[in-house]
Chains A and B, each alone.
Chain A
């Protein structure tokens, strides 16, 4: 049970200051556009928070590009919109935190081979819901999601979109419950990212073979038997290695119910 409200609230309240700047080669006005500063929730996704910024910059670009899709990069690295913002920051600037986070806005030369297209927020919603379902399959064999009604799904999504903690967690806590006689999930939905951006996803059980709770340390030893002093970061914090996996999954998962951990 995800009942440690303090941790949840701290995680939820995490926000990042971001400074958007339009790419130099796309400015079509004499006057330089002002940089656009905004605070964004760490748990949100870029397409949900960039509407105002986009309107601001549309005035400064050539008219023929105004309908084309917008994309962002950090130091020449295109940002994948389908990852939570906080996770992207951890992955790209975790070792060298610089705030506010300077991002460049592009309207042309969409990197087709790196990014997925995102025409509107329905695409984000579809991606989010499918990830939640995947996590639920791992945790409860999909039983919780399939018993939820459509309005529950909607509430989950609207809670995230509108940054409403209570609305979101009223539904999400059902996903965080463990079912059956044994405490804990079937498997932990977890994605591990190395600092070059490659993602690996493994089947990880919350318990050891002898039935005791598995800690982060034990999992790392299982997954990286030849590496030592591996540290894992999520939500901008380095996780103590004796943290139990079950608790970690219940409290430190992103809204898509996955643990996104950066390995370094």
Chain B
């Protein structure tokens, strides 16, 4: 408890304050408020009492009046008045009743209307329920249908899957079979080549014996006498005969002549299996000619190109044929049914050469747009593009696997490509534009026809030119003149501008023969791989098959 003077002063002031402000008025105000309340309650009481008084007075006068006679009159009057009031009330009641009746009638009418509406609505509802029921039934039906269809669909899907699996398996088998087939064909070819070699060996043997024999005869004859020198001439003739026999495969006469195309014939190729020759011409067609029966018989016309065909090539089984066209595309047909299988578009220039790349599902094309493209026929797309830098006139693929490609170009170069690398592996520079390339069967020699009117023989093992063939009258006819090795690689042939086909001996470099029958420049030649038949085509529409059928 603190304190001091200030506290005492505050306390006394407060006490004074309360005394002055509160204590002085407290009782007064309480008394006043009590009086105030009293006044209010008395006022209310007063009011109630006045009301009561009024009521009592009213009933009091009534009771006072009934006592006297005059009062009865007044009473009758009062009663009459009452009756009057009652009558008035009655009439007003009647009036009200009439009004009510009218109201009831109108209400009845309304009820009637509403009932009608209700009936109509009922009918509509029943109709709608019927419709709903039918719709429900329909829905049910459709649902069952749907479930059935779904089941069916499931079954079909399962079947489809099973078939797909079976299909995949069969396709696999097919592929294996094709591979086997290819290997078998390769083996067959190898055996055939061996046979041919053996035959050649035997022939040589035979000829050797014969020449020996002739020589012996000549020696004998020489020994006999000089007077019979005139006989020696005949014996020389015999030698020549025997030599010509030795070159039995050398074609000497035209076996068949026919008009192959309307216009220029650009390409010719023998089928590797049949006696079937394919030609491609400026009339946008590739034609297949069957010469097996000593007469020429058209076996089919492969259409689809939109411009002249520049090159044709069979695959190793002879089942497919690829044609390169000036319309920037290459096309693959099947030989058996002559249907167009693939159209390979993507080059931006004429396609000059198209070859199968080892297997029948790969194609390589060389184009005027200075690129080479490799196509996969299974996926139908270009798998690789090689930028050669110069327009490609011809190309060859070196081996069965097709891993090396050799292309001849407008810029006088022969380029070597490895399929696995992007860039050119090697190249050889020649004296003129390379118009065509051909590879010997043993893949050791490359034949290049050059625009400087020479044929170059290149040894691929050393990448050098081993021999050059030329003749004073031999002129290369066009930029895509095709030269070709004969069967066994002993002969080579090429068409010239003067309409002749020149045949050289590969080993000796001797010009064996000039087959002249065409009237215009010979564009392409092709040797039949087994029989030694030579096919040549010219810038007119003519094709000629040389040799003995």
Contacts and interface: CB of A to CB of B under 8 A. Distances in A.
Contacts of B26: 15, 39
A24 interface: no
A242 B5 contact: yes
Counting chain A CB atoms within 10 Å of each CB, the highest count among B5, B9, B22, B33 belongs to B22
Interface string B1-45: 111111101110111011011101110111011001001000000
Interface in A1-44: 3-4, 6-7, 10-11, 13-17, 34, 36-39
Nearest to B16: A237
B21 A239 contact: no
A100 interface: yes
Contacts of B33: 37-38
Contact of B17 (A14, A34, A252): A14
B21 A236 contact: yes
A37 B32 contact: yes
Contact of A243 (B10, B24, B30, B36): B10
A237 B7 CA distance: 12
A238 interface: yes
A6 B11 contact: yes
Contact of A10 (B1, B2, B15, B30): B15
A224 to B, nearest CB: 20
Contacts of A247: 2
Counting chain B CB atoms within 10 Å of each CB, the highest count among A14, A99, A240 belongs to A240
A159 to B, nearest CB: 20
A3 B1 CA distance: 7
Nearest to B39: A34
Nearest to A238: B13
B23 to A, nearest CB: 9
A59 B29 CA distance: 22
A214 interface: no
Contacts of A17: 21, 25, 28-29
B21 A38 contact: no
Contacts, number: 77
Contacts of B11: 6-7, 10
Counting chain B CB atoms within 10 Å of each CB, the highest count among A17, A34, A242 belongs to A17
Contact of B30 (A3, A7, A39): A39
A246 to B, nearest CB: 10
A238 B22 CA distance: 18
A235 interface: yes
A237 B22 contact: no
Nearest to A15: B22
Interface in A207-261: 235-240, 242-243, 247, 252
Contacts of A100: 25, 29
Given A37-B29, A37-B33, A7 B21 contact: no
B13 A237 contact: yes
Contacts of B30: 39
Counting chain B CB atoms within 10 Å of each CB, the highest count among A15, A16, A39 belongs to A39
B1 A240 contact: no
B126 to A, nearest CB: 58
B21 A237 contact: no
A39 B25 contact: yes
A240 B22 contact: no
Contacts of B39: 34
A127 to B, nearest CB: 26
B21 A14 contact: yes
Contacts of B7: 4, 7, 243
A10 to B, nearest CB: 4
B28 to A, nearest CB: 7
A234 B11 CA distance: 13
Contacts of B10: 7, 237, 239-240, 243, 252
Contacts of A38: 29, 33
B21 A11 contact: no
Given A38-B33, A243-B10, 20 more contacts: A4-B1, A4-B2, A4-B3, A4-B7, A6-B11, A7-B11, A7-B14, A14-B18, A15-B26, A17-B25, A34-B39, A38-B29, A39-B25, A39-B26, A39-B30, A99-B20, A99-B25, A236-B17, A239-B6, A242-B4
Give 3 closest A-B pairs by Cβ, nearest first. Answer: A17-B25, A237-B13, A240-B6
Interface of B: 1-7, 9-11, 13-15, 17-18, 20-22, 24-26, 28-30, 32-33, 36, 39
10 contacts: A4-B7, A7-B10, A10-B15, A10-B18, A14-B18, A15-B18, A15-B26, A17-B21, A34-B39, A39-B26
